[in-house]
Amino acid sequence: MYGAEPDPGLTATVEKGKKDKGKVKGARFEIERKFLVADDRWRGQGDGVYTRQGYLSVDPDRTVRVRLIGKKGFLTVKGRSEGPVRPEFEYAIPGKQARYMLDHLCLRPQIEKVRYRIEFDGMAWEVDEFLGDNAGLVLAEVELDSPDRKVRCPEWVGPEVTGDHRYSNAWLSQHPWKTWDKGG
Structural contact between residues 83 and 64, judged by C-beta atoms closer than 8 angstroms = no
55 is an active site residue: yes
Structural contact between residues 106 and 115, judged by C-beta atoms closer than 8 angstroms = no
Structural contact between residues 84 and 165, judged by C-beta atoms closer than 8 angstroms = no
ω before 60 within 30° of 0 (cis)? no
For residue 97, what is the DSSP state? Answer: H
The number of residues in the chain equals 184
* CA-only gyration radius of the chain, Å: 16
Could you count the other beta carbons within 10 Å of the beta carbon of residue 1? 12
Q: Which residues contact 153 (CB under 8 A, 6 or more apart)?
A: 35
For residue 101, what is the DSSP state? Answer: H
**Which listed residue (2, 50, 55, 167) is catalytic?**
55
Rounded Cα gap, residues 155 and 116, in angstroms: 16
Residues with catalytic function? 55
